[in-house]
Each structure stands twice: as structure tokens, then as C-alpha cells.
Amino acid sequence: MMGLEWLRPAAFFGSLIYALVGVVIFWVSFVIIDKLTPYDLWAEICEKKNLALAIVVAAMCLGISVIVAAAIHG
């Protein structure tokens, strides 16, 4: 029965809370970085189709995600 430990309510809700905290931290950090840049990232990527900026933003998102996951995991 070791494989079903994650079904316990405490483990399930703990994981859910950590996931929500991670998403909120990621979203806040992305908004801060978006405000620090001299142009609107969303308009530049979607409207102007700036592929280079999209790749840089994707790498930044992955980096933030790894940092948040490591901080939550301990």
C-alpha cells in the first residue's frame, strides 16, 4: 500500500496548496519581470511575433519554475 500514500487527505491537500503557492509565486515574479522590461512582453511576442524574445521569456519561465520548485521542495 506504499504506492497510495499520496491519496491521504493531508498529503493531497498539502500538494495542492504547494502547487497553488508555486503558481502564484511564478505569476508574481513574471509580472515583476514584465514591468521591469522597457516594452510589453505579451504584445511583442504575440502581435509582433518576436521569436527571439519568446525563446528568452520561455527560458526565464523555466528558470523561475525550477527555482520555485526547489524552494518548495526544500
Residue 7 lies in a domain: no
Closest C-alpha to 65, from 31, 23, 33:
23
Query: What is the domain range of residue 50?
Result: 39-74
Residue 45 lies in a domain: yes
Residues 31-53 have pLDDT tens digits of 898 899 888 888 899 999 999 99
pLDDT at position 33: 85
The residue type found at 21 is V
Residue 65 lies in a domain: yes
Residue 70 lies in a domain: yes
Q: Is the pLDDT assigned to residue 11 strictly greater than 60?
A: yes
Residue 26 lies in a domain: no
Q: Are 64 and 26 in contact (CB under 8 A)?
A: yes
Residue 56 lies in a domain: yes
Residue 58 lies in a domain: yes
- Measured between alpha carbons, how far is 71 from 74 in angstroms, rounded to an integer? 5
The residue type found at 68 is V
- Measured between alpha carbons, how far is 74 from 59 in angstroms, rounded to an integer? 22
Cα torsion 48, 49, 52, 57: sign:
positive
Task: Tell me the pTM.
Answer: 0.70
Residue 30 lies in a domain: no
The count of structural domains within the chain is 1
